[in-house]
Amino acid sequence: MVKRYLQVMPLDEVFSLLSHEFPCIPSTETIPLEAATGRITAGPIFGTYSVPEIHLAAMDGIAVASADTRGASEQHPVTLDRAARVNTGNVVPPGFDAVIMIEDVWEADGKYIIRKSAGPWQHVRPAGEDLAESEMVMPSRHRIRPYETGALATYGIIELGVITVRIGLVPTGSELVAAGTRPAPGQVVESNTVMAKAMLEAAGARCTRYPFVEDRPEKICDAIAAACRDNDMVIVSAGSSAGTKDYTADVIAGLGKVLVHGIATKPGKPAIIGKVDKKPVFGLPGYPLSAITVIRELVLPFLRNYGLFVPEPQVIRAVVTSALPKEIGSDEFVQCTLGKVGDRWTISPQSKGAGVQMSAVRANAYIKVPRDSEGFNAGDMVDARLLVPWQEAEHALLITGSHDPVLDHLADLLRPGGVSLVSTHVGSMGGIIALKKNECHAAPMHLLSPDGTYNTGDIRKYLPKTEVDLICIAGRQQGIVSRDGLALRDLRGRMFINRQKGSGTRMLLDYELKKAGIDPSSIPGYEREVTTHIAVALAVKSGEADAGMCVYSAAKALGLPFVPVAQERYELAIRREHRKDPRISMLIEAVRSTAFGEILKRLGGYDTTETGAQRSAE
């Protein structure tokens, strides 16, 4: 029998077990005041002197004896025999008990004249007004806000004790190389402890990244034992699964005890929780999205037990645009893109591949599909958990349809204006459907009709009653990418890499093959599908395929020969009802900008004659 997981444990049981097994006492460290923002006090802080220690003027003006001012009025101004010019913060000289604002004072013959009497202690800051000696400034476990550093400085607190959790991060794996080194085949850049450090330190933990440990149990054992000595908690990256080189669980068992192997989450299942020297030791799965999930859903919430502050994500109710089927038994976490189309928040799941870190970069929200749920249907209302501030999600511009690298450049042009362009790659037909369901702001497309026109035919067919405008991004060259300059006519018998059905490129290919009288079945690999231009070019570059069809910019980016097949009209379809949305205006402005024109020229393969042109799809 091949080695298998222990029974997986649901998250709520994991948290009960953690609370039961570990007392969770934080460490304390003394830090200078300048580093105090966001940190949490370890004990109460008391003032050691009063502020102010003596009566001070609270206004710019003159210090007076209030008795001298009696009876002053507009009708009966009083000229003062004694008074002292004081500025805000000056000591009120002995004999005086009030301050009159400079705005209420007139001067004549070197004396002050007033037209209003002053009450005793008027505009005087009495000693101890702000803080009295021995008073408590802040209790324990108070999270210091940036502006409070000023108060602490005033009260003489220049260093303070704050809580932390010392966490040792142990990266394991013989395949690891440090970030900055280009990995050879089979090597992997160690990124999980880089990420864990950033996520955990944002919550106030203090992390130490240990050197890479090769996949040998005795080395891993030494590393974990050393990390346990110097920290309150240890996280071992990778080796937590059940592969032939997954030693983490056995090593933890040897040093102490494995409490849990396998948690009921997806991604994140292969996590380990152990106990060594009474300290928690977590085994983190190697896949980046699994590691993110385990840190976000397990380790960070657990840090709350130590008194650290870990905010709950903000939640927005949104309509999910595609089905999320799921088997009962695990909490499932799905990276998504969220935005507000009209008055309605919509959320689209991203690729589920646990190795696709870009899906976490592109995501601005995620969905938790609960353990006892069978998932969601398209159109269900779900809780969207935000990964960006609410304001940023509200300004997201949802672009759903056919992908082109220029969309990323439009995103780059729009961001300084406060708009986050979020693109979901579902091909031109996917874009039409999103437009029909009103689940995106704009759908980029290049759909060839049998009559040789682009886009209007399918829009009229699928959205017959909806007013839709088309903004031309560019005339775009599609062609054959290869390592040796193949053309369309050379494809027979060569290994091909195709785009997915429904994509404009696939339709164009089929149209051109038919025109040229080439039978798809004569092309090996015709059925192998990828979803972006650059993936086609990459398959060709890596030797996996001999040819594919893509846009010029993708071939150029990878330095591959490109033989043009056709020029197509790549347009943005926009419902007219959204035309007044400022995000849409900014998008159109960006398409029409000089900067964008220059980008198109630099990338190559785009005809800018029609760029920015608008037409109705009716």
Window contacting its own copies (CB under 8 A); options: 123-131, 439-447, 465-473, 580-588: 123-131
Joined together, the tokens standing for residue 28 give 């304390």
Q: Does 190 bind its own copies (CB under 8 A)?
A: yes
- Between 130 and 490, CB nearer to its own copies: 130
- Between 268 and 288, CB nearer to its own copies: 288
Q: Does 595 bind its own copies (CB under 8 A)?
A: no
Helices (H) and strands (E) in the chain, counts: 17, 38
Q: Does 146 bind its own copies (CB under 8 A)?
A: yes
Q: Rule CB under 8 A: choose which of 6, 16, 19, 135 binds its own copies.
A: 135
Q: Rule CB under 8 A: choose which of 65, 102, 253, 613 binds its own copies.
A: 102
Q: Rule CB under 8 A: choose which of 16, 44, 328, 501 binds its own copies.
A: 44
- Between 138 and 220, CB nearer to its own copies: 138
Separation between Cα atoms, residue 486 and residue 284, nearest integer Å: 46
Q: Rule CB under 8 A: choose which of 12, 13, 106, 483 binds its own copies.
A: 106
- Which one, of 614, 425, 40, 370, lies nearest residue 434 by Cα? 425
Q: Does 602 bind its own copies (CB under 8 A)?
A: no
Nearest distance from C-beta of residue 346 to its own copies, angstroms: 22
CA geometry: angle 182, 184, 187, nearest 5 deg: 95
Any idea what DSSP says for residue 285? P
Nearest distance from C-beta of residue 272 to its own copies, angstroms: 15
Q: Rule CB under 8 A: choose which of 77, 156, 329, 564 binds its own copies.
A: 156
Q: Does 4 bind its own copies (CB under 8 A)?
A: yes
- Between 56 and 318, CB nearer to its own copies: 56
Q: Rule CB under 8 A: choose which of 22, 96, 247, 287 binds its own copies.
A: 287
Using CB under 8 A as the binding rule, the residues of this chain from 557 to 586 that contact its own copies are 557-558
Separation between Cα atoms, residue 134 and residue 205, nearest integer Å: 31
Q: Does 500 bind its own copies (CB under 8 A)?
A: no
Q: Does 154 bind its own copies (CB under 8 A)?
A: yes
CA geometry: angle 252, 258, 260, nearest 5 deg: 135
Q: Rule CB under 8 A: choose which of 6, 132, 323, 378 binds its own copies.
A: 132
Whole-angstrom CA distances from 237 to 170, 172, 240, 538 are: 6, 6, 8, 30
Whole-angstrom CA distances from 255 to 210, 281, 332 are: 18, 10, 32
Using CB under 8 A as the binding rule, the residues of this chain from 240 to 259 that contact its own copies are 241-246
Q: Do 400 and 443 meet the contact criterion of CB atoms below 8 Å apart?
A: yes
Alpha carbons within 13 A on the beta-carbon side of 549: 29
Any idea what DSSP says for residue 131? B
Using CB under 8 A as the binding rule, the residues of this chain from 212 to 241 that contact its own copies are 241
Give the 3-state secondary structure of residue 69: helix
Using CB under 8 A as the binding rule, the residues of this chain from 161 to 180 that contact its own copies are 175, 179-180
CA Rg value for the chain? 34
Q: Rule CB under 8 A: choose which of 168, 274, 288, 427 binds its own copies.
A: 288
Give the 3-state secondary structure of residue 343: coil
Window contacting its own copies (CB under 8 A); options: 50-58, 459-467, 483-491, 512-520: 50-58
Q: List the beta bridge partners of residue 382.
A: 318
Q: Does 37 bind its own copies (CB under 8 A)?
A: yes
State the pairing for strand pair 443-445/468-482.
unpaired
Using CB under 8 A as the binding rule, the residues of this chain from 264 to 283 that contact its own copies are none
Nearest distance from C-beta of residue 228 to its own copies, angstroms: 24
Q: Rule CB under 8 A: choose which of 252, 334, 387, 473 binds its own copies.
A: 387
Q: Does 81 bind its own copies (CB under 8 A)?
A: no
Give the 3-state secondary structure of residue 536: helix
Sort 507 into a burial class: Cβ within 10 Å, 0-12 / 13-18 / 19+.
buried
Max Cα separation, the chain? 111
Query: What number of chain residues touch its own copies (CB under 8 A)?
Result: 137
Q: Does 12 bind its own copies (CB under 8 A)?
A: no
Separation between Cα atoms, residue 312 and residue 370, nearest integer Å: 17
- For 185, other C-beta atoms within 10 Å of its C-beta total 4
Q: Rule CB under 8 A: choose which of 286, 427, 479, 504 binds its own copies.
A: 286
Q: Does 412 bind its own copies (CB under 8 A)?
A: yes
Q: Does 522 bind its own copies (CB under 8 A)?
A: no
Window contacting its own copies (CB under 8 A); options: 54-62, 67-75, 322-330, 567-575: 54-62
Separation between Cα atoms, residue 207 and residue 132, nearest integer Å: 38
Separation between Cα atoms, residue 365 and residue 359, nearest integer Å: 11
Q: Does 388 bind its own copies (CB under 8 A)?
A: yes
Q: Which residues contact 203 (CB under 8 A, 6 or more apart)?
A: 300, 303, 308, 309, 310
Using CB under 8 A as the binding rule, the residues of this chain from 344 to 363 that contact its own copies are 353-358, 360-361
Task: Write each residue from 292 to 321 as x if it is in contact with its own copies (CB under 8 A), else as -, in one continuous string.
Answer: x--xx----------x-x-xx---------
* DSSP string computed for 155-224: TT--EEEEEE-EEEEEEB-TTEE-TTSPPPTT-EE--HHHHHHHHHHTTT-EEEEPPPB-S-HHHHHHHH
Nearest distance from C-beta of residue 468 to its own copies, angstroms: 27
Nearest distance from C-beta of residue 297 to its own copies, angstroms: 12
Separation between Cα atoms, residue 424 and residue 442, nearest integer Å: 11
Q: Rule CB under 8 A: choose which of 164, 192, 455, 498 binds its own copies.
A: 192
Q: Does 113 bind its own copies (CB under 8 A)?
A: no
Sort 613 into a burial class: Cβ within 10 Å, 0-12 / 13-18 / 19+.
middle
Nearest distance from C-beta of residue 391 to its own copies, angstroms: 6
Q: What angle in degrees, to the nearest 10, is found between the helix axes of 217-230 and 248-255?
A: 60
Window contacting its own copies (CB under 8 A); options: 122-130, 256-264, 375-383, 583-591: 122-130
Q: Rule CB under 8 A: choose which of 116, 141, 437, 592 binds its own copies.
A: 141
Joined together, the tokens standing for residue 347 give 């959320």
Task: Write each residue from 530 to 559 as x if it is in contact with its own copies (CB under 8 A), else as -, in one continuous string.
Answer: x-x-xx-xxx--x-x------------xx-
Q: Does 60 bind its own copies (CB under 8 A)?
A: yes
- Between 185 and 450, CB nearer to its own copies: 185
